[in-house]
Amino acid sequence: MDLFIYDQTFEGLLTAIQDAFDLNIEPDKILSTKAFQDDLFAIKYYITTDPDKFEKLWEQIKDKSSEQNCQRIFKAFLSELPDIEIIIYNYIKLILETPYNVEVDFSNENLVKLNNIQKKVGREAQRVMMFVRFQKTIDEIFYASFDAKYNVIPLTVAHFRSRFADQKWVIFDTRRKFGYYYDLENVREITIGNQKVSLDSGKVDKDILHISEKLFQKLWKSYYDTINIKERKNLKVHMQFLPKRFWKFLPEKDFKNNLVMN
């Protein structure tokens, strides 16, 4: 059994795959250092992430397929699913070994598998863009946290940056405990050490909320309640479109224990 172990980064994974090609070994498993548990009987390969190898492989994939296809692979990686590495390995192999551009061959099982995963990731990223709610703090930073199924923050930063270019903001993934901060100039990755923000629930202490914040949450909640048309109530559809895991971050859904810590 051949085990490849990489450092959890996308670059690391591609290095591992390139190594597998170079060594001419079919890995049985490719695992991130996070998921790896020692296995006495396996032959282990500890991969050192190498930008050159990554670049080389990435360029080859780009030559053989479209920009969109490269995006697909990256999105699939962000799913963090247990077997995603092998799925990506098989997919990249398929791309490189097929003489024509195979990315539109929807009769290929492997491709359909990867495609379905990346679609789910894409949808989750959209949900984050839809349902993130910023709260204004006293130092005029707009703060938002959310709980995403997949690691989709990297897919949303560009959107928030271009949309909210004139306000400072933070977006924070409570499941993975990291986020990004935009200071009107640059976007940086951050973790939060501030006691005024709960890392689990994403709630912000009311001491550091802007005085207008409560009012606008209330106004939004009133708006939300008002536009409901009773005659058309249909909760099943409602839940399908607005998954429950987002509710605790939405002032319109959860006003009583709303986003403010008491």
Partner 1 sequence: MQINLVYLLILFALQSEMKQESIDKLKILASAARYDVSCASSGSNRPNTGKGLGNAAPWGICHSFTEDGRCISLMKLMLTNHCIYDCAYCANRKSNDIPRTTFTVDEVVDLTIEFYRRNYIEGLFLSSGIIKNPDYTMERMVWVAKDLRVNQNYNGYIHLKSIPGASDQLQQLAGLYADRLSVNIEIATENNLKMLAPDKNYKSILNPMNTIKNKIIENKEERSKFRHAPRFTPAGQSTQLIIGATPDNDKHILNLAGNLYNSKNLKRVYYSGFIPVNSYDKRLPAIIEPPLKRENRLYQADWLFRFYHFTIDEIVNDDHPDLDLEIDPKLSYALRNPWLFPVDINKASYETILRVPGIGVLSAKKIILGRRYNKLNQSHLKKIGVVLKRAKYFITCNELKTPTIHEIQPKNFKKMLLSENKPVKQYHKSLYKQLSLFPIN
Which of 239-246's residues contact partners 24+ apart within 8 Å by CB, and which partners?
242/131, 243/127, 245/147, 245/149, 246/127, 246/131, 246/146, 246/147
Q: At what angle do helices 67-78 and 51-64 cross, to 10 degrees?
A: 130
Residues in 113-172 at the binding interface with partner 1, rule: CB under 8 A: 126, 129-136, 142, 144, 159, 162-167
Q: Please, which residue, 34 or 233, has the CB nearer to partner 1?
A: 233
Q: In what order do the strands lie in the sheet with 168-173?
A: 135-136, 141-146, 168-173, 178-182, 187-190
Contact 42, 2 (CB under 8 A): yes
Residues in 206-245 at the binding interface with partner 1, rule: CB under 8 A: 212, 215-216, 218-220, 222-224, 226-229, 231-238, 240-242
Q: Please, which residue, 99 or 193, has the CB nearer to partner 1?
A: 99
Q: Please, which residue, 36 or 224, has the CB nearer to partner 1?
A: 224
Interatomic CA distance for residues 194 and 33, integer angstroms: 28
**Of 3, 57, 192, 250, which one interacts with partner 1 (CB under 8 A)?**
250
Residue 106 contacts partner 1 per CB under 8 A? yes
Interatomic CA distance for residues 207 and 138, integer angstroms: 8
**Of 23, 25, 112, 158, which one interacts with partner 1 (CB under 8 A)?**
112
Q: Please, which residue, 226 or 262, has the CB nearer to partner 1?
A: 226
Q: Please, which residue, 195 or 234, has the CB nearer to partner 1?
A: 234
Q: Please, which residue, 16 or 95, has the CB nearer to partner 1?
A: 95
Residue whose structure tokens are 């690391």: 12
Residue 256 contacts partner 1 per CB under 8 A? no
What's the closest the beta carbon of residue 159 comes to partner 1, in angstroms?
8
Residues that bind partner 1 (CB under 8 A): 102, 104-109, 112, 126, 129-136, 142, 144, 159, 162-167, 184, 212, 215-216, 218-220, 222-224, 226-229, 231-238, 240-242, 250, 252
